[in-house]
């Protein structure tokens, strides 16, 4: 059991939503993330913290992995717009559905392109929702700024409605409900030039590893929450890309960047969000077991993903 109280979920009910999707980036294996995390006992670990947990397979009956092999790019070089759009709609419905039923959605990816679905689902459930995006990358490219055309680098821009004249048809359903003053980043260290401009122009609070080094992780989390949720009254959606944590701790992920959070700093972020009592939803994404070079890599990465979930849902050290 956990003593941590959750203001938006006093009855401690949660829904684990699996999102085994890899179409937002080119590497195979990230669609296996949910399976590995569940097989490691994730559901039971959350139940042991006192949560009533059910399981929803948001993409059941779909065949996106086969379609991904015929990857095509649109006029902006965007890859897989159709399947990302369809998949995100299913995730959106599952997340909003769980939240509307007073259950805290825990979405397990899959690549981070599913963030368009989870964020938009939560913002429709409660427009006051603010976002903490924990990541090595800002994931705020638009179809106009992205070099790779991989949609896992773009989910935030779609929910914000940036460069909206450039969106693939299938992503036009996403409501543009996220305001720039309602999202903060922690852990950034690989941000594209176009993204830096977007962050600056929109005055978005972003804490890079430089800030973590300078202020320490405790102060950085406080500053991030102060920026988006100064009175500590809005619900918080925590979107956690495991690549925020240094690859020495979390090697099995698609876009590793050296110089990341230590494992303890990474878990502290989730603990600190839990401590606010304001967590309303959580994503854990980009676990890719096929990128491990050995079994230890898989174990380390899957264990870290599970630990992020437990810490966010109220596990404490004492």
**Residues assigned a catalytic role:** 112, 135, 137, 139, 152, 241, 243, 286
Interface ranges with Mn ion (CB under 5 A): 112, 135, 139, 241
The position carrying tokens 């920026």 is 227
190 vs 241 by CB, closer to Mn ion: 241
Name the residue among 26, 30, 21 with its Cα closest to residue 88: 21
> What is the nearest approach in angstroms of Mn ion to the Cβ of residue 207?
15
CB 154 within 8 A of CB 113: yes
Round to whole Å and give the CA distance between 267 and 170: 35
Residues near 209 by beta carbon (within 8 Å), at least 6 away in sequence: 187, 188, 189, 259, 260, 261
Q: Which is nearer to Mn ion, 4 or 244 (CB)?
A: 244
Contacts of range 1-5, beta carbons closer than 8 Å, 24 or more positions apart: 1/48, 1/49, 1/50, 2/49, 2/50, 2/313, 2/314, 2/315, 2/316, 3/314, 3/316, 4/274, 4/275, 4/277, 4/314, 4/316, 5/277
Q: Which is nearer to Mn ion, 45 or 157 (CB)?
A: 157
Q: What is the Cα Rg of the chain in Å?
A: 17
| Closer of 139 and 271 to Mn ion (Cβ) | 139
Alpha-carbon distance of 12 to 46, in angstroms, equals 10
Between residues 235 and 254, which has the closer beta carbon with respect to Mn ion? 254
Least distance (Å) from Mn ion to the CB of residue 135?
4
Pick 139 or 265: Cβ nearer Mn ion: 139
Work out how close the CB of 301 gets to Mn ion at its nearest, in angstroms, rounded to a whole number: 15
Shortest spacing between CB 163 and Mn ion, in angstroms? 19
Three-state secondary-structure class, residue 150: coil
Q: Measured from the CB of residue 244, what is the shortest distance to Mn ion in angstroms?
A: 8
- CA 235 – CA 280 distance, rounded (Å): 5
| Three-state helix/strand/coil letters over 101-134 | CCCEEEEEECCHHHHHHHHHHHHHHCCCCEEEEE
Smallest distance, Mn ion to C-beta of residue 241, A? 3
The count of other CB atoms within 10 Å of the CB of residue 163 is: 18
What is the separation of C-alpha 184 from the centre of its chain, rounded to a whole number of angstroms?
A: 13
Q: List residues bridging with 132 in a β-sheet.
A: 184, 238
């Amino acid at each position: 059991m956990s003593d941590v109280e959750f203001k938006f979920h006093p009855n401690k009910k949660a829904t684990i939503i699996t999102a085994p999707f890899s179409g937002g980036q080119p590497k195979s294996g990230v669609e296996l993330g949910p399976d590995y995390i569940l097989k490691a006992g994730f559901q039971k670990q959350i139940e042991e913290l006192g949560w009533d947990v059910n399981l929803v397979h948001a993409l059941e009956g779909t065949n996106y992995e086969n379609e991904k092999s015929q990857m095509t790019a649109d006029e902006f070089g965007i890859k897989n717009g159709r399947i990302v759009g369809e998949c995100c709609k299913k995730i959106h419905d599952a997340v909003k559905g769980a939240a509307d039923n007073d259950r805290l959605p825990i979405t397990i990816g899959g690549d981070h392109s599913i963030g368009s679905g989870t964020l938009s689902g939560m913002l429709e459930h409660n427009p006051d929702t603010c976002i903490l995006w924990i990541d090595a990358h800002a994931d705020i490219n638009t179809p106009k700024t992205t070099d790779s055309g991989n949609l896992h680098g773009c989910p935030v821009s779609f929910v914000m409605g940036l460069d909206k004249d450039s969106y693939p048809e299938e992503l036009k359903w996403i409501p543009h409900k996220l305001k720039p003053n309602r999202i903060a980043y922690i852990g950034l260290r690989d941000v594209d030039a176009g993204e830096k401009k977007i962050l600056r122009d929109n005055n978005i609070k972003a804490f890079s590893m430089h800030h973590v080094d300078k202020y320490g992780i405790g102060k950085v989390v406080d500053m991030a929450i102060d920026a988006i949720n100064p009175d500590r009254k809005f619900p918080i959606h925590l979107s956690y890309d495991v690549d925020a944590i240094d690859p020495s701790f979390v090697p099995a992920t698609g876009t590793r960047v050296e110089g990341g959070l230590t494992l303890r700093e990474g878990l502290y972020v989730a603990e600190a969000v839990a401590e606010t009592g304001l967590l309303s939803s959580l994503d854990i994404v980009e676990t890719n077991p096929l990128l491990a070079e050995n079994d230890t890599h898989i174990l380390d990465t899957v264990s870290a993903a599970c630990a992020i979930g437990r810490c966010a849902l109220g596990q404490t050290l004492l």
